A and B are shown apart, each in its own frame.
Chain A
Amino acid sequence: MTDSPATRPSLLLRIRRPDDDAAWSEFVEIYAPLIHGFCRRRGLQEADAANLTQEVFGSVLRNAERFEYDPSKGRFRGWLLTVTRNRVNDHFSRLKRDIRGSGDTGVRAVLEQHPDPSEADDEQWDEDYRQRVFHWVAEKIRGEFQEATWQAFWQTAVDGQAAVQVAEQLEMSVGAVYIAKSRVLSRLKVRVQEVDNDDGWLDG
């Protein structure tokens, strides 16, 4: 990515361009597990969760043309949560109607535990999103570094090991370990920031 965070058009803008495959991939890779996770947490079966995820993307695709900048609407992922939640609710409503009278206790149990939308949803959603972004960025930038560098970073920053020990294991100097850590960290920070910016609504 060569655009600086300030000038890069948001993801929503970019996914409208038919030739920007990278934007679309990024969009799917970051948000699909989010949506899917939400569905699963709400008790949907695997196949249903997958279907619903697809439906949500379809909805985004169709509405991408019509998005407008409205800061009061919050972030895009908030909108996505609403869409996802609505669809899950619809799904359960239909289930309830159609399985009325079915003796299937398991299904009924799922239906009965169907929780109402709450703020807990939003928080969880945001958390999941943030985590997803980190993991996605980490996967993406990993290829930019040598394996030793990456390990040096991971073992110190994530696993929390002491630099001296890591240096020994990886046969690097301590200084090199620190350099590795700082390089990867700064790269990570930049990319996460970019993705976060993407989450905003369209500009202008």
Chain B
Amino acid sequence: MHECPPEADLQKFLTGSLPASRLDAVAAHLDVCDACQRSIEALGAAEPFLSEVADQLGRPTPEIDAALARVMAEVEDGVTTWVEHLGSGAGRRRGPSELPAGLLAKSDEPGLMGTLGTYRIQRVIGRGGMGVVLEARDPLLKRTVAIKVLAAHVAERPDAARLFVREARAAAAVTHENVVTVYAVDQANKIPYMVMEYVEGVSLEERIQEQGRLDLREVVRTGIQVASGLAAAHGRNLIHRDIKPGNILLEKKTRTAKISDFGLARAVDRATKSQSGLLVGTPEYMAPEQARGDAVDHRSDLFSLGSVLFAMCAGRTPFAAASTRAIINSVAEAVTDDVSELAPDTPGWLVELIERLHAENPAERYQSAGDVARVLREELLKMRGLTRTSGPVRSELDSPSRNPSPTRSHARPSFGRVLGWLREHWRVACVVALTLLVGGLVFDGTREQTTVVPTVPDSSGSPTVQTGPPAVSDGGGGGGLAGRTVGDRAGAFAVLSQGGGAGVRFATLAEAIAACGDGDAVVVDGDGPFRSGPINVGDKGITIKAAAGQRPVIHLATGRGEPSGSALIHSAGALRLEGIEFGREPGRGAVPSAGRLPDAIVIVESSRLEVINCRFVTAGLGVGIMAQRVSRCEIRNCEFLCLRGAAVDWFCPVGGRLELINCVQVGQVGLFVHPERSQFSDVSVVIDGSSFVAEKIVRLMLQGRPFRSRDKAGRVSWPITVSVSNSVLDAAGAVLEVDRSGDFRRDSGGGRPPDGIRWSGEGNLFLIGERMLSVRVQGRPISAPLAPRGLRDWERYWDGHERSALTARPDAEALSLHRRAVANLAAIAAESFRLPVSSPGRGTGPSGRDRGAFVERVGPGAGYEAWKQSSVDGR
């Protein structure tokens, strides 16, 4: 371009706002055009910003000197803690403290560093941020003392003396065996020093560093002592503010812990309530409110005490992080590591105590050091076997907000009432029809329950069922173990072989099973009730099912002297049960099992279990079905009345699958799952269309540290997934109870869901009792203040995986299933449980159908028939 560009363009060029396309052209022109050069210079001179740039950048700026640079570096690193006024100049990092020169008078005595007043200084014990501690001899009282002197670089500061004297005063105000005693304060050459009790021994910090974790008794004993010392200080309105292992001295001879270094202590005083602003204390042991610079009170010392206990148990600080800033962040958010991860043998009560002291909200901690000391003392006495009861201690550990008792008003049925119901049941029960067939057996679908009374004389000589209490309850003699049927000669138990054919009949279930081969079926042709002793099937895979139209009832009868821990059916092979009611003979159920396994009606220890349309009734402590290491477990259309136990107890292997479809449980626990290996792995629980009225719906035992993982294809696999849909969950205690034994996260069950559990729910109805989630540690319930309460909380807790849930409060209007069962068991239909018409679950489920079990197809008898006739399983 040869012509000069217009001035406007030059202006734009100058300020960099000329479009790029023209930039080069103008520049090329400027190369050669003096006139334009002068123009642009003139424009530049008039441009204000340009002259400011020249002005500002032209002037030299003050150098950033070394001290400032250091400050900037530290502040940028986020080191926002520093000892008030003191320390080596710029921050927490303390340089070596030196004695002020000329402090000590020279002495001729060999071995002495010098004298200070009348004291003979022997050596330097230690150096802290504020002062130097010397070991000295008091010739008058003939004792060794410790003398703390302001460090040299600190002594030159005028306010240091003031603070030092204040520390001495604070410490002197407390007289307690667990606080280092201050004897005197004096000054030499205008440098103050304090004379204190000499404690021979190391600090707790050194102890931990050298020897690692302390054993439990030592932890507790030391904890008691520190708490007592703190209580004394707090009693004088003194907050220590820097409780940490470094400030706890352990006297060797007496094994006494003594709190020292009240240097940062500050009296609680209305006038000084608002912090003048600096963070004091050691971040690793600081309370969150301290780290944040908020108001601090004696409960902050308790937080630090918790950290000290942690350090004793775990061998390191609760907040381990790379940088000070990170530590401060952690402290401010009160996120600690798990003490029982680092020290698995720490007892639950101690873990809980530390956890409580570490509550982020001071109001949730113990409110006084005295309380902590008391709790620790009780536990120590127990460890020595000297207390009578553990009751009171437990209640002290409860958080104040915990409900003292469940809010539900229903009571567990007394045993007597259940017994009465069972008797009554028999009276009104449909009478058993006994088939007497010789030879061939015809099973047609048309046989219905009849009230025909067999006229065959029965071998036991007892009257027929109709007229009175069944012979069964009287027991056919003391040892009637070989399960007799009533009035049956030919036998109600037929064995059908796979090859088909007529099958052979037996009088007792035990005999029939004994005659089975692998893959055979025992058909129970009769309503019973049959008595049977415990049967061990062995490892063959069999089926036991009801004949068409029959509704057999089989009771476990245990004679005297029999261990009551036996199961009615114990199989090590695959087992399939259909259409049968199993129960325990009344009168026996209440005896707790002496054996290893808890009582169960059916125990299966194999890979496969199928239970269809059965009913399990036990008033005792036992469970209905115990599935040991069963990989595939299908339980469908079953009813469980296990009043004091779980319906199903599943000791599950890796990769196990359990389905509970269209079932009803009224009792203690719906499903109890515990892993075979130390933790769950790829376990799946599916609950659909079922109704639970229980203390707890699902109970999981979590051990170790389950976590989800990703396989090579990128699929996430969870240790255990629990999927509950279209069910009615009426939980008096909690919907989900997680029992963590041997592993305790600080926020397990509280702050966030345990990593190992994937819970998903769809279309469930919650009749909520006390809470949704309960957590136990080693069997002991712990308070989980952040556990979900109420349905919305619950939904959030599982990240939205609980969907379309309804909630209703059990109330007098719509009586819950359990209330009806408890109040009047006899009123429950013999066939199955039914949801009351006014129940919230009626007609509100997807497609307007009921939530909960489809009761028309539940249980033996008609339910079984209905299921068999239905074209689709279940609904």
Q: Are A32's CB and B61's CB within 8 A?
A: no
Known: A58-B279, A185-B15. A157 touches B91 (CB 8 A): no
Is the CB of B140 closer than 8 A to any CB of chain A? no
Tell me which residues across on chain B come within 8 A of A176, comparing CB atoms: 27
Whole-angstrom distance between the alpha carbons of A94 and B23 in the complex? 62
Q: Which B145-170 residues have a C-beta within 8 angstroms of A?
A: 158-159, 161-162
| Contact residue among A57, A130, A183 (Cβ-Cβ distance under 8 Å from B75) | A57
Whole-angstrom distance between the alpha carbons of A95 and B159 in the complex? 8
Q: Is the CB–CB distance between B54 and A46 below 8 Å?
A: no
Cβ–Cβ contact A53 & B71, under 8 A? yes
Distance between B337 CB and nearest chain A CB, rounded to angstroms: 20
List the A side residues contacting B193 at CB < 8 Å: none
A73 proximal to B (CB < 8 A): no
Question: Does B394 sit within 8 A of A, measured CB to CB?
Answer: no
State the CA gap A164–B16 with chains docked (Å): 19
Decide yes or no whether B14 CB sits under 8 A from chain A. yes
A58-B80, A178-B40 known; A50+B16 contact, CB < 8 A:
no
The answer to the question of A173 belonging to the interface, with a C-beta cut-off of 8 Å to chain B, is yes
Residue among B15, B29, B71, B329 facing the most chain A CB atoms (10 A cut-off): B71
Is there contact, CB below 8 Å, between B76 and A185?
no
Does A80 make an interface contact (CB < 8 A)? no
In the complex, B385 has a CB within 8 A of chain A: no
Instruction: Identify B62's interface contact among A37, A159, A178, A187, CB under 8 A.
Output: A37
A148 in contact (CB, < 8 A): no
Q: Which of A33, A49, A135, A178 contacts B56 (CB 8 A)?
A: A135
A117 close to B (CB within 8 Å): no
Please state if A175 and B28 are interface contacts (CB–CB under 8 Å).
yes
Q: A185–B13 contact, CB under 8 A?
A: no
Task: Report the bound CA distance from A178 to B54 in whole Å.
Answer: 16
Q: Which residues of chain A are near B15, meaning CB under 8 Å?
A: 182, 185-186, 189
A185 near B53 with CB under 8 A, answer: yes
Q: Does B17 contact A (CB under 8 A)?
A: yes
A186–B30 Cα distance when bound, in Å, is 19
Given A158-B54, A178-B13: A59 in contact with B277 (beta carbons within 8 A) = yes
Nearest residue, chain B, Cβ from A133: B56
Contact status of A47 and B89, CB under 8 A, knowing A98-B162, A174-B37, A188-B53? yes
Asked whether B54 lies within 8 Å of A130 as measured between CB atoms, the reply is: no
What are the residues of chain A within 8 A of B53 when measuring CB–CB?
Answer: 134, 157-158, 185, 188
| Interface: B64 (CB within 8 A) | yes
A85 located at the interface, meaning its Cβ lies under 8 Å from any Cβ of chain B in the complex? no
Residues of B close to A135: CB separation below 8 A: 56-57, 61
Whether the pair A134, B75 counts as a contact (CB closer than 8 A) is no
Q: In the docked arrangement, what's the CA distance between A47 and B62, Å?
A: 17
Which of B29, B50, B59, B159 has the most chain A CB within a 10 Å cutoff? Answer: B50
Q: Which residues of A contact B16 (CB under 8 A)?
A: 182-183, 185-187
Whether B58 lies near A158 (C-beta < 8 A) is yes
Q: Is B37 touching A49 in the complex (CB atoms < 8 A)?
A: no
Give CA–CA (A18, B41) in the complex, Å.
Answer: 47
**Cβ of B30 and Cβ of A178 under 8 Å apart?**
yes
Which residues of the other chain, B, contact A25 by a CB distance below 8 angstroms? 76
Q: Which residues of B contact A57 (CB under 8 A)?
A: 75, 80
In the complex with contacts A61-B80, A94-B159, A157-B53, A175-B72 CB distance below 8 A: no
The range of chain A's interface size is 35 or more
* A51–B159 touching, CB < 8 Å: no
Q: Is A50 in contact with B67, judged by CB distance below 8 angstroms?
A: yes
Main secondary structure of the interface of B (DSSP, over half): helix
Instruction: Answer whether residue A163 sits at the interface, using C-beta atoms and an 8 A cutoff.
Output: yes
Which of A61, A132, A135, A178 has most B Cβ within 10 Å? A178
Whole-angstrom distance between the Cβ of B769 and the nearest chain A Cβ: 40
Does residue A122 face the partner (Cβ distance < 8 Å to B)? no
Tell me which residues across on chain B come within 8 A of A32, comparing CB atoms. Answer: 68, 71-72, 75
Contact in complex: A175, B62 (CB < 8 Å): no
A89 at the interface (CB under 8 A from B): no
Check if B577 is an interface residue, CB within 8 A of chain A: no
CB contact between B278 and one of A36, A58, A164, A189 (< 8 Å): that residue: A58
Q: When the two chains form their complex, are residues A58 and B277 in contact, meaning their CB atoms are under 8 A apart?
A: yes
List chain A residues, Cβ under 8 A from B70.
Answer: 50
Say whether chain A's binding surface is mostly helix, strand, loop, or mixed.
Answer: helix
> What is the distance, in angstroms, from B81's C-beta to the closest C-beta of chain A?
9
Q: Is A170 an interface residue (CB 8 A)?
A: no
Contact A50 B37 (CB under 8 A): no
- Interface check A103, CB cutoff 8 A: no
Our pick among A49, A160, A175 for the contact of B31 (Cβ within 8 Å) is A175
Interface residues of A in 38-89 (CB under 8 A from B): 46-47, 49-51, 53-55, 57-59, 61-62
- What is the bound-complex CA distance between A130 and B265, given in angstroms? 42
Contact yes or no, A185 B49, CB < 8 A: yes
Residue tally, chain B, CB below 8 Å to A: 54
Q: Which of B28, B40, B61, B91 contacts A54 (CB 8 A)?
A: B91
B293 CB-CB contact with A under 8 Å: yes
Contact call B49/A189, Cβ cutoff below 8 A: yes
Partner of A51, one of B76, B80, B89: B89
Q: How far is the CA of A116 from the CA of B491 in the complex (A)?
A: 114
* Candidates A50, A131, A157; contact of B50 at CB < 8 Å: A157
With A54-B82, A98-B158, A182-B16 given, is the CB distance from A158 to B67 under 8 Å? no
Does A179 count as interface, using CB distance less than 8 angstroms? yes
- Judge if B397 is at the interface, Cβ distance under 8 Å: no
Which residue of B has the minimal Cβ distance to A184? Answer: B16
Chain B residues closer than 8 Å to A162, beta-carbon distance: 41
Given contact pairs A18-B329, A158-B54, A176-B27, A55 touches B74 in the complex (Cβ within 8 A): no
Q: Does B90 contact A (CB under 8 A)?
A: yes
Report the separation of the CA atoms of residues A36 and B66 in the bound assembly, to the nearest whole angstrom.
12
Among B31, B52, B64, B162, find the residue whose CB has the most chain A CB atoms closer than 10 A. Answer: B31
Q: Is the CB of A28 within 8 A of B72?
A: yes
B108 located at the interface, meaning its Cβ lies under 8 Å from any Cβ of chain A in the complex: no
The verdict on B26 contacting chain A, using a C-beta distance below 8 Å, is yes
A29 at the interface (CB under 8 A from B): yes
Find chain B residues with CB under 8 A from A164 CB.
37
Instruction: State A53–B89 Cα separation when bound (angstroms).
Output: 12
Tell me, rounded to whole Å, the shortest Cβ–Cβ distance linking B53 to chain A. Answer: 6
B210 within 8 A of A: no
Set of chain B residues within 8 Å of A202, measured between Cβ atoms: none
- Asked if B76 contacts A28 (CB within 8 A), the reply is yes
When the two chains form their complex, are residues A173 and B82 in contact, meaning their CB atoms are under 8 A apart?
no
Cβ-defined contact, A158 with B65, below 8 A:
no
CB-CB under 8 A from A37, the residues of chain B are 62
Contacts of B82 in A (CB 8 A): 54, 58
Interface residues of A in 132-149 (CB under 8 A from B): 132, 134-135, 138
B277 touching A173 by the CB < 8 A rule? no
Q: Which residues of B contact A110 (CB under 8 A)?
A: none
Cβ–Cβ < 8 Å partners of A178 in chain B: 13-14, 27, 30, 40
Q: A61, A131, A182: which contacts B59 (Cβ < 8 A)?
A: A131
Shortest 5 CB-CB distances between A and B: which pairs?
Answer: A175-B27, A186-B16, A98-B158, A134-B56, A50-B67
Query: Known contacts A185-B50, A189-B49; can you find 17 more A-B pairs with CB under 8 A?
Result: A25-B76, A28-B72, A32-B68, A46-B67, A51-B85, A53-B71, A54-B82, A55-B278, A131-B59, A134-B56, A154-B57, A158-B54, A158-B57, A173-B31, A175-B24, A182-B13, A183-B16
B interface residues, Cβ below 8 angstroms from A:
13-17, 23-24, 26-31, 37, 40-41, 49-50, 52-54, 56-59, 61-62, 64-65, 67-68, 70-72, 74-76, 78, 80, 82, 85, 89-91, 158-159, 161-162, 277-279, 292-293, 329
A-B contact pairs, 8 of them (CB 8 A): A36-B71, A50-B67, A55-B277, A59-B277, A62-B292, A176-B27, A178-B27, A189-B15
